[in-house]
């Protein structure tokens, strides 16, 4: 019998695929839950009504219940909701949960071998090498690269009239990511790479994957992956000889204490995934922040005052820790609208939770969204209130696994400090020079969708008024 934990630990993909082809669907009949409509399952609730669906299901069935999705998954899975479920999955004692099988449905052929879907000792070794790319010195270099790009981009946006901010922000962060991660200057190459990256992202969300025709998003995503792969492979040797400050160059040079480097294909895999992880999650976070401060002008004024008190034209690394209220605002946006609302895993052995046995080969999902709105842990959780993160209130400290916008355990987001840096630099250039306004009333609801990540469904129309 194949030792699947060993296969995942050594990244033996042929063996993992053999296991995948022969594994049997688990029997979840003993676990409570409503699997919804025939074929469609709970897909509509998962995509468009998740918060209400998860709360009602939790109230009816408790913290564990089954569900059924649609498309390539097409099988039943299990929800584990609340901090106890988060702890069980994210701590992963005994290596009973697999990231690879949890993410493979979405990532296969697009983000193969991404750090997020690696397991056990292989993941530990890769992460150990990657950590150097996110140390203080590296983030300082990233800040120097991104700051002028963000300032120039913001200044070029239309002023004093509504702008669909999601699109303009996405384009700006794509340009920033191309320069920070790939070292590519704005121009034709950037446009080509940016479009390829956008195609990959749409491919992740395509439920039909390789079963769809050539014009479906997945097929375009595979083509986009090849475009970026070719760029990376064509430039690895030159980056090793003449490295820049971009992350691509750093990955070409990184070694662990034993002198081990990433192979060319591993460099390609990690650069691709970091583009995804850094760009889309930051876009999501900034959209949430901009919605919140446009609907809460008094709080926007407080942030502006904090940023102006620096009396600087350029943000420096040591300034980041002084932006306390800005930090609370980012945390609150991540609480209310976490970019990754749900996190999948897969059981390799039977797992016990809340009196039920979850069989091996089961898809398991945990939810940051649900945990971040539990009234047991948060005061008025539907209200935008950054001061809940102040030392005096510290609402996020009641349980170590109640607040998980960056996941947790061995797979906690490696780039979370980079993401916070980028958001703070953006807000520094924006709020010192512009007021963000909306036609929505004070405290208006955020119109958004959860899949593939949390993005505004109306494009987020906002106006930017020069001060």
Average pLDDT, the chain: 90
Across the range 80-93, mean pLDDT stands at 97
* pLDDT one-digit tens code per residue, 34-60: 887 776 777 777 777 888 889 999 999
Cα 107 from Cα 444, distance rounded (Å): 35
Looking at the chain, the whole-number percentage of residues with pLDDT higher than 70 is 96
Spacing of C-alpha 293 from chain mean position = 22
For residue 89, pLDDT beyond 80: yes
* 362: CATH: 1.10.630.10
**Per-residue confidence (pLDDT) for residue 35, from 0 to 100:** 84
pLDDT band for position 31 (50/70/90)?
very high
Cα 134 from Cα 130, distance rounded (Å): 7
pLDDT band for position 72 (50/70/90)?
very low
In angstroms, the Cα distances linking 66 to 26, 77, 87, 111, 252 are: 12, 5, 19, 28, 44
The answer to whether the beta carbons of residues 305 and 57 sit under 8 Å apart is no
Spacing of C-alpha 201 from chain mean position = 12
* pLDDT one-digit tens code per residue, 187-212: 656 788 888 888 998 888 787 777 66
Residue 189 or 261, more confident: 261
Token duo for residue 239: 């980056």
Q: How many domains does the chain have?
A: 1
Across the range 370-380, mean pLDDT stands at 96
**Per-residue confidence (pLDDT) for residue 73, from 0 to 100:** 43
Across the range 105-115, mean pLDDT stands at 90
The DSSP code for 465 is E
Cα 344 from Cα 366, distance rounded (Å): 7
Across the range 389-407, mean pLDDT stands at 96
**Domain coverage including residue 458:** 4-466
For residue 411, pLDDT beyond 70: yes
**Other C-beta atoms lying within 10 Å of the C-beta of residue 142:** 27
For residue 71, pLDDT beyond 60: no
For residue 330, pLDDT beyond 80: yes
* pLDDT one-digit tens code per residue, 418-458: 899 999 999 999 999 999 999 988 777 888 887 778 999 99
């Amino acid at each position: 019998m194949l030792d699947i934990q060993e296969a995942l630990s050594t990244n033996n993909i042929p063996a993992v695929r053999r296991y995948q082809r022969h594994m049997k669907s688990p029997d979840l009949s003993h676990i409570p839950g409503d699997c919804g409509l025939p074929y469609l399952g709970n897909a509509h609730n998962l995509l468009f009504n998740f918060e209400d669906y998860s709360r009602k299901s939790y109230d009816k069935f408790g913290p564990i219940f089954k569900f059924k999705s649609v498309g390539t998954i097409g099988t039943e899975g299990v929800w584990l909701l609340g901090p106890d479920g988060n702890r069980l999955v994210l701590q992963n004692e005994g290596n009973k949960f697999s990231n690879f099988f949890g993410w493979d449905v979405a990532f296969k052929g697009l983000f193969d071998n991404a750090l997020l879907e690696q397991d056990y000792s292989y993941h530990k070794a890769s992460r150990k090498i990657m950590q150097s790319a996110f140390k203080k010195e590296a983030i300082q270099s990233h800040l120097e690269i991104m700051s002028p790009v963000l300032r120039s981009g913001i200044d070029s946006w239309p002023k004093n009239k509504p702008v669909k901010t999601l699109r303009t922000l996405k384009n700006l962060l794509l340009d920033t990511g191309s320069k920070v991660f790939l070292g590519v200057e704005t121009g034709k190459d950037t446009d080509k790479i940016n479009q390829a990256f956008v195609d990959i992202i749409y491919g992740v969300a395509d439920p039909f994957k390789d079963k769809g025709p050539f014009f479906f998003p997945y097929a375009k995503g595979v083509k986009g992956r090849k475009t970026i792969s070719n760029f990376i492979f064509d430039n690895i040797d030159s980056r090793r000889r003449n490295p820049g400050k971009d992350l691509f160059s750093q990955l070409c040079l990184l070694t662990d204490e034993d002198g081990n480097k990433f192979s060319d294909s591993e460099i390609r895999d990690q650069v691709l995934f970091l583009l995804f992880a850094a760009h889309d999650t930051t876009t999501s976070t900034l959209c949430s922040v901009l919605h919140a401060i446009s609907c809460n002008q008094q709080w926007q004024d407080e942030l502006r005052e904090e940023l102006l008190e620096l009396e600087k034209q350029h943000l420096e690394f040591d300034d980041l820790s002084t932006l306390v209220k800005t930090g609370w605002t980012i945390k609150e946006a991540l609480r209310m609208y976490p970019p990754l609302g749900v996190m999948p895993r897969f059981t390799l052995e039977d797992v016990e939770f809340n009196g039920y046995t979850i069989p091996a080969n089961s898809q398991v999902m945990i939810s940051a969204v649900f945990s971040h709105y539990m009234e047991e842990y948060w005061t008025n959780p539907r209200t935008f209130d950054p001061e809940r993160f102040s030392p005096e209130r510290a609402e996020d400290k009641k349980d170590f696994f109640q607040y998980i916008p960056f996941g947790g355990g061995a797979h906690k987001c490696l780039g979370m400090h980079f993401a916070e840096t980028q958001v703070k630099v953006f807000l520094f250039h924006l709020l010192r020079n512009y007021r963000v306004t909306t036609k929505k009333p004070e405290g208006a609801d955020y119109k958004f969708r959860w899949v593939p990540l949390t993005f505004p469904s109306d494009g987020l129309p906002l106006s930017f008024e020069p001060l």
